Amino acid sequence: MSDIEIAPVYSYIFPGQGTQKVGMGRTLYDVSPAARTVFAEADDSLGMPLSRLIFEGPSADLQDTAHAQPAIMAVSIAIWRAWQEFLGPAAPQPAAVAGHSLGEYTSMVVGGVMDFGDGIRLVRERGRLMHEAGEARPGSMAAIIGLDEHTVGQVALDSGVELANINSDDQIVVSGDKIALARAMDLALARGAKKVVPLAVSGAFHSRLMRLAQDGLSHAIDDIKLHDPEFPVIANSTGAPIVNAAQAREELLTGLCNCVLWKHSVQFMVGSGVNRFVEFGPARVLSSLVRRIDAGVGALTLSDPDSIRKAAADRN
């Protein structure tokens, strides 16, 4: 009996903060008119030479949350538009889009919830507000490797931190003030974690310590036009589709304090028929997580002209 080929059903996924690096997107800028247009639009929308900072640094400035977030969005959108430019009408329509934390904003641009100019201004403001909140209520984050969600949840209850990112079955990030976080890391190791990794972040993201940023972000969101999604955008907070502009607004606002349910989002998409995940970003972060969540689906990262050409050739 011959094998039956299963038609690919695509999801486009977009990374969050932490994937930034000086020089990302430069080779696309050099060869793709569509990518160059994105970087020019980013510079114009922000009234600053963001593209020069992305391509030339200095690295310390690029790591600043207020710069890193729009930089990652700009690069992800440039890769996505270069992919569309390269494939033309053959570019697959995604069955769903999703992004991790900051990447959720990028997914909403791709999903038609907001335009790119509004989106990049919004994420710069989001980054600025998150940095200010981190200074007002200091905290940090740590990844716990090798414990399941239930066990890490108990560690959080016992230490006073919060679940921030459920990335896969055995990679979960917690967030909170530094004393509680140190307690959580000790408890996780005592309860069998393979390792704990403090994250180089400027605050306790996706926790109640971001409430100040959430309050400020509400005004910024009110200043832009949001639309109903053109196709399903999977929400970080629920792992389920956003179906209208009102839900999109609520998700953008509450996502600063809510846990990122990445594992649940991927599982929802796979359960809905998605079997190919394409990450648009400068590093293989989300595609690696997808493979850990479900080894039976395909996942690749597009980051430069060579990866786009290879992915296009593999489709033929």
CA distance 153 to 156: 5
Query: Which segments of the chain does DSSP mark as H helices, in order?
Result: 26-31, 33-46, 50-56, 59-63, 65-87, 102-110, 116-136, 149-159, 178-190, 211-222, 245-254, 262-271, 286-293, 305-315
Strand partners, 298: 276
Catalytic residue among 32, 101, 175, 237: 101
Closest CA to 278 of 306, 298, 304: 298
Catalytic residue among 140, 159, 175, 206: 206
Is residue 101 flagged as an active site residue?
yes
- Give the DSSP H or E segment for 14: strand 10-14
**Coil, strand or helix at 226:** coil
Angle between helices 33-46 and 65-87 (to 10 degrees): 150
DSSP letters, 146-162, are: S--HHHHHHHHHHHT-E
Is residue 288 flagged as an active site residue?
no
CA distance 299 to 284: 10
CA distance 100 to 13: 8
* CA-atom Rg of the chain in angstroms: 19
Q: Give catalytic residue positions.
A: 101, 206
